[in-house]
Structure 1
Amino acid sequence: MGKKHRVFIVEDHRLFREGLKSMLDSRGDIDIVGEAEDGLEAIRLIRNIKPELVLLDLSMPKMGGISVMKEVKRELPDTRILALTIHESDQFVLEAFEAGTDGYCIKDASRAELMNAVDCVLQGKPYISPDISDQVIQGYISGKKTLKKESNWDTVTQREREVLKLLAEGYTNKEIGDFLHISAKTVEKHRANLISKLDLHNVAQLTTFAIEKGLVEPKT
């Protein structure tokens, strides 16, 4: 057998991550070169390992999948990314492809579909789950919805989105500053900008908004 494809997995749910590893290992042509449980760890490891393909969950602790995509594509433009997600809305599809993903696969896909998605992306072909493709096309045809609507959310910068996610996860300004390599004062400025742009009034409302946008999962 020839050279194996070097694959890195970013997924915070251990059971799902182990399942992915088992399926990919069974192919024989893939070498799992690393894994990460949160977005910040993923960027640090991917930067050093330089895998051929990254399987990336969009809903990650500390730094979301969209931010990870942008950072990976900025530093390693030849590394391919396959988004694995529960999110089926047009908004997530559009944001993922704008961030640089090469494929978009829903987590409840069959094994055959997932393997097809991996093959397509490894071959340099874009991939979108069939149900998503139909949804996006119908959105264009019907004219009842658009892939991108101007809103207050569109004025929020990528850095502000990262701060919003971490605030919603309960981290302090200092902790967020440490994660993002910025000062606590700068974090506070970003928080003030978020409150102003989104017309919200406190961290509780910011947290609710972050959950609605899928940046964090609601606590059970």
Structure 2
Amino acid sequence: MQKLRVLIADDHSIVREGARQLLDAQPDMVVVGLSNCGEEALQHAREHRPDVIVLDISMPDFNGLDLLSLLKRASPLSKVVILSVHQEPMLVRQALASGARGYIVKTAPVSVLIDAIRTICAGDTFISSQIDIARLDELRLSGSQTSATNPYDLLTEREQQVFRLVVQGKTSHQIAELLCLSGRTIEKHRATVLHKLGVKDTVEMVKWAVRLGVISIDE
């Protein structure tokens, strides 16, 4: 029987090693790579082309949703399951919309990771029981009815990247380096984001993001 090849990307060594031992003990799984940052995850994804990528949504060098998009481009056939301490339905919705096939809260029992991997490899979606499924369904429904329900959905993919980096505390110079863009371009994106969201400054942007669950208050 061909084993499911899994890449684990998490910046906490205890989580990585614990997940590796758990998955390697399964008769149908083998861990092909351990990554402690986004750059390493991208390198391992290109090198190993795993069946499944277990991805911590809070990596030190990348926003998790941005990294998710890059991983999908680096290894298109890999299925991604998000591992996170955050359980806000808005964040779960964004992860699924960005290409994730599963979302696990880190407080879930360890056996849930095994179930999630097998579920998504069978073609289904897996969501932790800690997630408010009713609220998630409401967000999905509202998103399908109109893209204007949530102003965040009016932002382009690049504007969403800039927005998430801004509310994480990154400066325009840092964002420009991360996204390989000019400082002037980043400033234009920031101004557009402020206008589309109807906020005046970065402080209001952060408050807006926390209120709607785009980021967690402790992120």
Q: Which string of whole-angstrom CA distances, capped at 9 and with x for unpartnered residues, describes residues 140-190 of structure 1?
A: 6xxxx5433512222122222222222233333232222112122211111
2:82 aligned residue: 83
Partners of 1:35 and 1:205 in 2: CA distance: 38
Is 1:218 matched up with 2:218? yes
Task: Please report how far the alpha carbon of residue 99 of structure 1 lies from its aligned counterpart in structure 2 after TM superposition.
Answer: 1.7
| 1:19-98 correspondence to structure 2 within 5 Å | 19-27=18-26, 29-98=28-97
Is 1:136 matched up with 2:136? no
Partners of 1:211 and 1:137 in 2: CA distance: 20
CA contact (8 A) 1:168 1:216 kept: no
**Scaled by the length of structure 1, what TM-score is found?**
0.78
Question: What residue identity is the alignment partner of 2:196?
Answer: K
Partners of 1:53 and 1:146 in 2: CA distance: 26
| SS of residue paired to 1:87 | coil
Partners of 1:158 and 1:46 in 2: CA distance: 22
| 1:47-196 correspondence to structure 2 within 5 Å | 47-132=46-131, 135-137=132-134, 145-147=138-140, 148=142, 150-196=149-195
| SS of residue paired to 1:33 | strand
Partners of 2:108 and 2:63 in 1: CA distance: 21
Name the % identity.
Answer: 30
| SS of residue paired to 2:55 | strand
Task: Please report how far the alpha carbon of residue 193 of structure 1 lies from its aligned counterpart in structure 2 after TM superposition.
Answer: 1.3
Q: After superposing the two structures, state which structure 1 stretch, 11-20 or 51-60, moved more.
A: 11-20
CA contact (8 A) 2:93 2:136 kept: no
2:146 aligned residue: none
The verdict on how the C-alpha distance between 1:72 and 1:207 changes in structure 2, with shifts beyond 3 A counting, is same
Partners of 1:190 and 1:110 in 2: CA distance: 41
Question: What residue identity is the alignment partner of 1:203?
Answer: T
Task: Please report how far the alpha carbon of residue 139 of structure 1 lies from its aligned counterpart in structure 2 after TM superposition.
Answer: 6.9
The verdict on how the C-alpha distance between 1:59 and 1:216 changes in structure 2, with shifts beyond 3 A counting, is farther
CA contact (8 A) 1:165 1:216 kept: no
**Scaled by the length of structure 2, what TM-score is found?**
0.79
| SS of residue paired to 2:119 | helix
Structure 1: segments with no counterpart, 5+ residues: none
CA contact (8 A) 2:3 2:28 kept: yes
2:7 aligned residue: 8
- Tell me which stretches of 4 or more aligned residues in structure 1 moved more than 4 Å: 137-140
Task: Please report how far the alpha carbon of residue 41 of structure 1 lies from its aligned counterpart in structure 2 after TM superposition.
Answer: 4.5
The verdict on how the C-alpha distance between 1:218 and 1:103 changes in structure 2, with shifts beyond 3 A counting, is closer
1:18 aligned residue: 17
Q: Which string of whole-angstrom CA distances, capped at 9 and with x for unpartnered residues, describes residues 100-146 of structure 1?
A: 222222222212222111222233332223454xx435876xxxx54
Partners of 1:20 and 1:170 in 2: CA distance: 30
Structure 2: segments with no counterpart, 5+ residues: 144-148
Q: How many residues align?
A: 212
CA contact (8 A) 1:40 1:179 kept: no
Q: After superposing the two structures, state which structure 1 stretch, 120-129 or 154-163, moved more.
A: 120-129
Partners of 1:58 and 1:97 in 2: CA distance: 12
Partners of 1:171 and 1:195 in 2: CA distance: 16
